[in-house]
Amino acid sequence: MIDVLIDKTKKRISQTSLIARIIIIVAAVGIGWLVISKINGSKTAAPQYQTAQVEKGTLVVTVTGSGQVSTANNGTISTLATGVVSKLYVKDGDKVKAGDKIAEVDLDLQGQQNAQQALSSYQSASNNLDSAKTNLYSLQSAMFTQWKSFYDLATNSTYQNSDGTPNETNRALPDFHIAQDDWLASEAKYKNQQAVVTQAQTALNAAWSAYQQTSPTIYAPISGTISGLSLQVGSVIVASTNTTNSAQSATKIASVKTEALPTVSVNLTEIDIPKIKLGDRATVTFDAFPDKTYTGQVVSIDTAGVVSSGVTTYPTVIRLDTESNSILPNMAASASIITDTKDGVLLVPVAAVQQQSDGTNYVRVLKSGKPVQVTVGVGLSSDTQTEITSGLSEGETVITNIISSTLRTPSGSNQSSPFSGFGGGGRAVFGGGGR
């Protein structure tokens, strides 16, 4: 019994010694790995550079802005008539002239009432014009009569000398002035009536336009190409009311696109607007056609500006050089307006040029693998390139960016713990009777 207890004690002592040895070995390996890691960690890789070549080319300076296609080359066909469409004269894509028929409408009761009222107003305006013209003719006759009386008086022997010169003494008499004033008064009335006739004609035109809006025939207001025609035979046109003043609003039927070139309105900042002028060339892209670029020129600059949420922008209109049926009103657009160009100049990326506290510009040139700081003169700059006026030659290599140094490991890859093979996050795991 005693011998058995002695043997078990010896085995436990032996097992404890083995565990202690393993712990010592593991600790030594860990300390060694930490020392090696620190030594290797103190070593840094040689800096790496992003570079570019100094090249000769054309520098294009631009100002950019975003906006949308305007509706300057589109008109609206609308009507105040209400009822059922009985006939269509056009379809989408047809070309029309101003005054051409678009559709016929069988008017409902409200439509008939509106049309009759408009027709009555037109007839009244027509009568007023005729009356004004009649008065004009009467006043014209009276003016000529008064002028003839005055002329006969002024040229008789009492008021005109034998040599044809005026007799100033007698022309100072009241009879002469009365005849002259009668003629001038009749002339003034005639000229005033001419203005009345013009106004009556304008009123007649307005009355006719109003009647056309309510008549059963819908007309094209301008010449162009029909688009967006929403009617078909049997369509019902109902009255729409303006919520502001409860008046009836015109119903849009279609659009007419004219032959005018499309225009794009872009918003520029207060920093960019002084740089551009009328006639500047521009390139325009549309979100709908990212692979296409259109050209144009600046035709309008709104220097008054628009303030929104405390930010001031200046709408600038660019007219495109070519027509395109794909470009539709209100499409989103981006424009680059060319403000200056220079040919045959030395160019480097913008990132290559640095500035010192005294305002001196410099670049870092890579020579024999090492950076050398060189003072340079600069000219114009675009968003991506800067003109170099002195200090560099074509073909030299400039540094645009320095890549940060990285830790270098013996294997050239990420360092790993010598305990990773044990599992459990680097913790040593002992099996069988370890406790």
pLDDT band of 34, cuts 50, 70, 90? low
* pLDDT band, residue 249 (cuts 50/70/90): confident
Average pLDDT over residues 204-215: 90
Q: pLDDT tier at 433 (50, 70, 90 boundaries)?
A: very low
Q: State how beta strands 354-355 and 311-320 pair.
A: unpaired
Chain-centre distance for alpha carbon 44: 51
Q: Among 252, 260, 250, 265, which Cα is nearest to 225's?
A: 260
Examine the pLDDT at 110 and tell me if it is beyond 70: yes
Q: Is pLDDT of 407 > 60?
A: no
HSE-CB for 66 with a 13 A CA cutoff: 4
Q: Which of 82-86, 212-216, 363-367, 403-407 has the lowest average pLDDT?
A: 403-407
% residues pLDDT > 90 (the chain): 48
More confident of the two residues 428 and 248: 248
Q: Is residue 238 part of a domain?
A: no
Q: Out of 218, 249, 283, pick the residue that ends a domain.
A: 218
For residues 109 and 174, state if they share a domain. yes
99 shares a domain with 24: no
pLDDT band of residue 245 (cuts 50, 70, 90) is: low
| pLDDT bracket for residue 27 (50, 70, 90) | low
Say whether both 149 and 131 belong to one domain: yes
Query: pLDDT for 164-182, tens place per residue?
Result: 899 999 999 999 999 999 9
DSSP character for 273? G
Q: Is residue 123 part of a domain?
A: yes
Same domain, 135 and 27: no
Distance in angstroms (rounded) separating the CA atoms of residues 154 and 274: 66
DSSP state of 131: H
Is 227 a domain residue?
no
* β-strand partners of 160: 166
Pairwise CA distance, residues 372 & 399, whole Å: 9
- CATH number for the domain that contains residue 348: 2.40.420.20
Strand partners, 328: none
Residue 137 — very low, low, confident or very high, per pLDDT cuts 50/70/90? very high
If asked whether residues 135 and 207 sit together in one domain, one would say: yes
Average pLDDT over residues 314-340: 91
Q: Do 386 and 416 fall within a single domain?
A: no
Residue 104 has pLDDT above 90, yes or no: yes
What does the block give as tokens for 196?
């009345």
Is 304 inside a domain boundary?
no
- Measuring CA to CA, which residue among 244, 237, 242 is closest to residue 214? 237
Residue 435 confidence class, pLDDT cut points 50, 70, 90: very low
Q: Is the model more confident about 13 or about 78?
A: 78
Asked if pLDDT for residue 132 goes beyond 90, the answer is: yes
∠ CA(245), CA(255), CA(297), 5° rounding? 105
Give the H/E segment covering residue 430: none
Tokens of 145: 């009569």
Strand, coil or helix: 118: helix
Domain that holds residue 353: 49-56+343-403
Do residues 90 and 211 share a domain?
yes
pLDDT number for residue 194: 96
* CA dist., res. 325 & res. 229, Å (int): 16
Of the candidates 195, 238, 264, the one whose C-alpha atom is nearest the C-alpha of residue 83 is 238
325 found inside a domain: no
**pLDDT, position 46:** 66
pLDDT value of residue 267:
93
105 and 216 Cβ atoms separated by less than 8 Å: yes
Q: Is the pLDDT of residue 4 over 60?
A: no
Which tokens belong to 418? 């010598």
- As a whole number, the mean pLDDT across the chain is 83
Of the pLDDT bands very low, low, confident and very high (cuts 50, 70, 90), residue 258 is confident
In sequence order, the 6+-apart residues with CB closer than 8 A to the CB of 85 are 103, 104, 105, 106, 231, 232, 233, 234, 235, 236, 237
Residue 300: pLDDT over 80: yes
**Band of residue 381 on the pLDDT scale cut at 50, 70, 90:** confident
* pLDDT of 357: 87
Report the range of poorest mean pLDDT among 1-5, 101-105, 396-400: 1-5
For the cut 70, the answer to whether the pLDDT of residue 336 exceeds it is yes
Output the pLDDT for position 49: 81
Rounded Cα–Cα distance for residues 366 and 398 (Å) = 6
**More confident position, 12 or 414:** 12
Total number of residues shown for the chain: 435
Instruction: For residue 71, tell me if it sits in a domain.
Output: no
Both 6 and 33 in one domain: the answer is yes
Q: How far apart are CA 231 and CA 314, in angstroms?
A: 39
Same domain, 29 and 114: no
- Report the domain count for the chain: 3
275: Cβ contacts below 8 Å, ≥ 6 apart:
63, 339
Q: End of a domain among 183, 218, 253?
A: 218
Residue that terminates a domain, selected from 196, 218, 240: 218
